[in-house]
Amino acid sequence: MDTDPALEIITGSGYVFDGISGNNEWYFSPEFGRTLAVGDFDGNGVDEIIGGTRLSNPVIYSAILKSELWQINNTDVCTINTANIDEDPQDEILIGNCQNREIHIYDGSTGSATEQYTFSTIQHSSISLTTGDVDSDSDLELIWASGIGSSGEDILAVAELGDEPAIAWYNQDPAQLDSFVAAGWASSSSLEDQAIFIVPETDSDYGGQRIVQMNELEDIRVSEEINHSWELADQGVITDYNNDGVQELFLSTAYLYDSAFIVLDLDSYDVIWGDKKAGDDEDNITTVIAGDVNGDGFSDSVIVNSDRIQAIDIQNQVSLWLSTRFSGIIHDVAIHDLDNDDTVEFIVATEEGLTTWKKSRRSYTRTASVTQNCNRIEVGELIDGKTNIICIDAGGYTRDQSHIIIFNNQLIEENRNSVDDIITDFIFEDTSASKKNLIIALHHNPRYNYQANRTSTIQSIDPFTGKTIWVSPKLLGNVPRHSLYYAPTSNGKKRLTFATNDAMYMTR
C-alpha cells in the first residue's frame, strides 16, 4: 500500500494499519465500505484500495496520497475482488452484481474503468468472486457462486477468459444437494465398497430425493431423481435382504406429501419392491431398520409409519406385523431376541414411554413398559453376555443436556447419567473388548447462537459414567438420527461413515 516493506491491514471502516508496527497510517472517516479489496490497478508496483457498499459506486483509493482517486459506475455490488487476468502488468477489478445478474471485469490502468468482460451470474446475486487455474492449463479462470439471493438453487460457476470468454461449467441437474442422511455401507458392481447417503431434497427444495454413493477415493455417483418429495423422506438402511451377496437399500420415499416404502437396487436405482407412488397423505415413514424378524435367515424391513409399526418379509412377500395405533408419537424402534429364546421382540420408544412386544400367535403383545422418553434406542451387549436396552433422552424444554439410560432386557433401569448438549445418534462400539463404549453424535447447542448451533462432534463415551474417551474435530452441521455406521476396511482398522445435514463423511 506504500513504499515500506511491510504489508498493511485495511478495514472497511476506513483504517489502514502498518502490518509490523500496528500504527494507524491513515483513517478515512467516511469509510471504505463493507465490500473491500486491494490491487495494483495502475501497474506502479503499489496496491490501491477499492471499496464500496451494495448501492454505491465502488471507489479506488491511494493510501500514499490518502485520497480517493476515481470510481466505477456500478451501483449494484455484492462482491469485489482483483486479479491480473491477462498479460499486462496491472491488476483488473472484478465485480459481481446483486440484482442485475452480471459479473463485470474492468481495466483501471488509465485512471478510469474500462470494461473488458461481462458474464451472466446464471442465478440471482453473486458471492465469493475469485480466480484460479481450475483446469491446470496455465490460464486463470473466473469462479463465483450464485443463487444465494433467492429461494432457488445455488450454483458454482467457472468461466474461461482470454480471446473467447465463456462460461465453461456450472453445477446442474442437480445443482445442489440440500442435506444428507447416511444409510450405511454397500457393495455393488458399479461402484464397489461405498458409503450410501440419502438426499431428501435437492436444488433448494425445488428438486426431489436422490441417492449418493461415495467410495474411499471420494468418487461420487448421484442417482437420478428417485421421487419428487415434499415430505422430506430421509430414512433408509443398507441390507442384503435376499442373501445374494449384493446389498440393497430399504428406503422411505414420498411422492409429493404421500410417504411410501420401497426397496432400491443400488446399481440401476430400479425399485425392486414397493411402489414410489403407493402412499397417501396419512402415511409418514419416520424410521426404517432391517433385521431378521421371523428367523428365516432373511433380512426383513421394520418401519415406523405415522403411529404404527409395520414389519414385512420382503423375500417372501409376507406382512409379519402391523401394530395397532400407538397413542403417542413413535420416536424409534428396535428388534432383538431379548431373552435368548430364538424369538425376536420389538422395542418401541414413544413420547409416552418405552415398551417391549413379543410374538403371540399371529400378532405381538406388550410384555413390559416403563414411563421414560427415549428419542433414540439401541439394543446390544455393553458387557459380554448381558443384553441391554440403551435409551437416549434428549428431550426437555432447554435441550442442553442428554440422559443415557441403561435398561436390562426386562426394562428395569440399571444405570443413568447425563452429558451436556444433545445426542442425536449413537451406535455400540465395535470392539472385541468385554466392555463396550458408545459412539455418539453430539449436537452442540449454545442458546441463541445460530452459528455455533450448526456444529457437532463424534465422541466415544463410557455409557456407565458418561466419561468422554475421545472427541472428533468439529463437524459441519449436525448428525441426523440413524445416520452413524461402521464401515469395513481391508486392514482391519475401525472406521466410520456418517452424514450431517451439511456434509457426507468417511473416516480413514
Which class for 420: exposed (0-12), middle (13-18), buried (19 or more C-beta within 10 A)? exposed
Closest CA to 389 of 310, 335, 451, 315: 335
- Residue 506 clears pLDDT 70, i.e. is over it: yes
Task: State pTM to two decimals.
Answer: 0.88
- Residue 398 clears pLDDT 90, i.e. is over it: no
Residue 454: the pLDDT is 66
Residue 189: the pLDDT is 64
Q: Read off the pLDDT of each residue in 205-233 and give the average, rounded to a whole number.
A: 89
Rounded to the nearest integer, the mean pLDDT of the chain is: 92
Using CA atoms, how far apart are residues 405 and 469, in angstroms rounded to an integer? 18
Please, which residues have CB within 8 angstroms of residue 57's CB and are 6 or more apart in sequence?
A: 71, 72, 73, 74, 75
Residue whose cell numbers read 435398561: 407
Q: What is the pLDDT of residues 254-285, one digit of tens each?
A: 988 889 999 999 999 999 999 988 888 789 99
Integer CA distances (angstroms), 124 to 79, 103, 150, 151, in order: 13, 11, 6, 9
Least confident of 66-80, 111-125, 183-197, 208-222: 183-197
Residue 397: the pLDDT is 56
Using CA atoms, how far apart are residues 344 and 292, in angstroms rounded to an integer? 8
Are the beta carbons of 450 and 443 closer than 8 angstroms? no
pLDDT band of 451, cuts 50, 70, 90: low
Residue 151: the pLDDT is 83
- 118 torsion bin: left (phi>0), alpha (psi -120 to 50), beta (else): beta
Q: What is the pLDDT of residues 101-143, one digit of tens each?
A: 999 999 999 999 999 999 999 999 999 999 999 999 999 999 9
Using CA atoms, how far apart are residues 252 and 184, in angstroms rounded to an integer? 15
Are the beta carbons of 122 and 71 closer than 8 angstroms? no
Q: What is the pLDDT of residues 457-503, one digit of tens each?
A: 999 999 999 999 999 999 999 999 999 999 887 777 889 999 999 99
